[in-house]
Amino acid sequence: MEERLREVVRHIGPTAVGKATGMDRSRWNTVANDTRTKTRVEDLSRLLQAFPEYELYIIRGEIDPSRGQISPAYDHADLKLEGQNAGSN
């Protein structure tokens, strides 16, 4: 779960996550890149409040696009398809 949380932060970017959560960008940079640092419940809570579409992925490692639950890989693939008018966006 912790690695998936880190993956989501890296995907979105520490600066964007910091702005969306009201937490310091440097904390999110540490969460994203320093595996020696443990993530906190507060990190998870604030991230999911700001980006609820990643909840199922972070918690269980699953996605359900029909319910708006995605992963960074799904989001990335969907953006590539958008240029072909085939994505869900």
Q: Looking at the domain assignment, is residue 49 inside a domain?
A: yes
Number of domains in the chain: 1
What is the pLDDT of the chain when averaged over all its residues? 90
Band of pLDDT at residue 79, cut at 50, 70 and 90: low
Q: Looking at the domain assignment, is residue 88 inside a domain?
A: no
Q: Looking at the domain assignment, is residue 87 inside a domain?
A: no
Q: Looking at the domain assignment, is residue 30 inside a domain?
A: yes
Q: Looking at the domain assignment, is residue 42 inside a domain?
A: yes
pLDDT tens track for 17-40: 999 999 999 999 999 999 999 999
Q: Looking at the domain assignment, is residue 65 inside a domain?
A: yes
Task: List the CATH number of the domain containing 29.
Answer: 1.10.260.40
Model's pTM, two decimal places? 0.84
CA distance 76 to 88: 12
Q: Looking at the domain assignment, is residue 89 inside a domain?
A: no
* Domain span including residue 67: 2-82
**Cα 68-73-76 angle, rounded to 5 deg:** 85
In this predicted structure, the answer to whether residue 8 has a pLDDT above a threshold of 60 is yes
Closest CA to 32 of 7, 61, 67: 7
